Structure 1
């Protein structure tokens, strides 16, 4: 999908509301409301940026999603995903395409190793999870 202009009046998505709940209770993800927020996130679609240099076959292959990996200062590698086009445009304005992927499905297939996931990194409700956190907190059974 192509990213349209940055819409500042877009309504808050359920995934963003879930992130707001988690941001209100940092470090306490085991609370009941946080469990509900994590379930909402796992059931939500997220926007996975497609690099501008990716060809059309890579951008549209329904059987695979190339994860965009950004290296942070200090060497940590993170995959940015977003809950809305506005969030994507705020952090990565040069990215014009994305894939819409169920977050729970992405988490189910998350690679092992030290690859973190960051959701809406530029926003006050942003959340970053370690590789283990992605698999244990967001992975949904497939089927």
Structure 2
């Protein structure tokens, strides 16, 4: 399933991901990423008494690494996590501002050529652009 060409915002995010993945910490690309909405997979029971509360989906890899996946399009999310049927849209920079743990990594568009994996330090340093 191809990404929808009607969402130019997603293509701008994907271009920014490509630049960062290939060239490193490009400031303009990082600002684009930080200001972009991404899809955060949601568990079926993740909506509790406070619908504004955000529950991060944490996946554990075989080596014990814990990560939170986010995606630039629904097609990319469905490709990586076909069992997930719900998601929430979040601004990536806002997610970075409240990053909860030093042991938790972030992966953007897992399984794609533009995949970007960041440690907690990387999330805060690269994506928290509030003061920039």
**Given the two structures, how large is their TM-score scaled by the length of structure 2?**
0.88
| 1:10 aligned residue | 4
SS of corresponding position for 2:106: strand
Pick the aligned partner of 1:66 from 34, 52, 55.
55
Distance change (3 Å), C-alpha of 1:82 and 1:55: closer
Counterpart in 2 of 1:35?
Answer: 27
**What residue is the counterpart of 2:83 in the other structure?**
94
Could you tell me how far apart the structure 2 residues matched to 1:17 and 1:139 are? 19
Change (3 A) 1:61 1:140: farther
Per-residue deviation, 1:99 = 0.4
Q: How much has 1:55 moved relative to structure 2?
A: 5.2
> Which residue of structure 1 aligns with residue 115 of structure 2?
126
Instruction: Give the match's secondary structure for 1:57.
Output: coil
4+ runs deviating over 2 angstroms: 55-58
- Deviation for aligned residue 1:14: 1.1
CA drift of 1:56 comes to 4.2
What's the TM-score, normalizing by structure 1?
Answer: 0.82
Task: Tell me whether 1:136 sits opposite 2:128 in the alignment.
Answer: no
Question: Tell me, which stretches of 5 or more residues in structure 2 are unaligned?
Answer: none
Matched residue SS, 1:98: strand
- Structure 2 CA distance, aligned partners of 1:108 and 1:55? 21
Q: Is the 8 A contact 2:3 2:76 kept in 1?
A: no
CA RMSD of aligned residues (A): 1.7
CA separation in 2, counterparts of 1:41 and 1:127? Answer: 11
Measure the CA separation in 1 of the matches of 2:31 and 2:101. Answer: 22
